[in-house]
Amino acid sequence: MSAGDIFSQTLVYVIETVSCANTFFLEAIDDDPGTDDELSAFNAFEAEVLPAIKDIQSSEVEYECVLSRRVKPTTAPNRVFSLTGNGAVTGESLPANVAMNVRHFSEIGNINQRGRWFFSGLNELRVFEGRIVEAHDTPLNDLITVVSNPIINASHEYRMKHFSKKLDQFFDIANGASSPIPTKVRNRTPGICSIS
């Protein structure tokens, strides 16, 4: 693969018959020509990032697919990689429109260098008096650690990126934090997917 290529990886999952999605950007750091670049990026996402996401989501979450696409230096057609499996946290989930808000920051974290993901599938037992309990901090912090460090899989190396629409530019994710209060997502919020 060519160093500097950036791949969009949109994770699609279903909870309570509602389709949800989160988009991640991975930049290839190594230069390994002759491989299936998109498959390599998906394999890294599936092996290194997805397990950390599963650890924060209820077992009622069913993973469907990853919609993958090269977005830099030029865009390429979407490619679908099927997934199977569920979240790792057993027990009943809160409704699909109640999500964990995980914020990520790049460089100095100004308005153009930060973003957020909304993850549905928050387990009922992980919320007490309207706040996410501290026991859930560890898997959330593990996810932040994964996305803010180099992602290495089968000798391929990637960095998770943040995309600024205003600047039309990508930045390395340097850090992150989770909101202690669950967020109610609406249909226009990026955490709820229009794929159904």
pLDDT per residue as tens digits for the range 95-147: 888 899 998 988 887 888 888 999 999 888 888 888 888 777 788 889 999 99
Q: Is residue 123 part of a domain?
A: yes
Write down the pTM of the prediction: 0.88
| Alpha carbon separation from 74 to 5, 6, 35, 78, 170 (Å, rounded) | 9, 9, 18, 13, 14
Q: Is residue 40 part of a domain?
A: yes
Q: Is residue 51 part of a domain?
A: yes
Give residue 187's pLDDT band: very low, low, confident or very high (50, 70, 90): low
pLDDT digits (tens, 9 = 90+) for 23-34: 999 999 976 666
Q: Is residue 34 part of a domain?
A: yes
pLDDT value for 32: 67
Q: Is residue 1 part of a domain?
A: no
Q: Mean of the per-residue pLDDT values for the chain?
A: 86
Q: Is residue 131 part of a domain?
A: yes
pLDDT digits (tens, 9 = 90+) for 40-53: 999 999 999 999 99
What's the number of domains the chain is made of?
1
Q: Is residue 45 part of a domain?
A: yes
Q: Is residue 195 part of a domain?
A: no
Q: Which domain holds residue 124?
A: 6-184
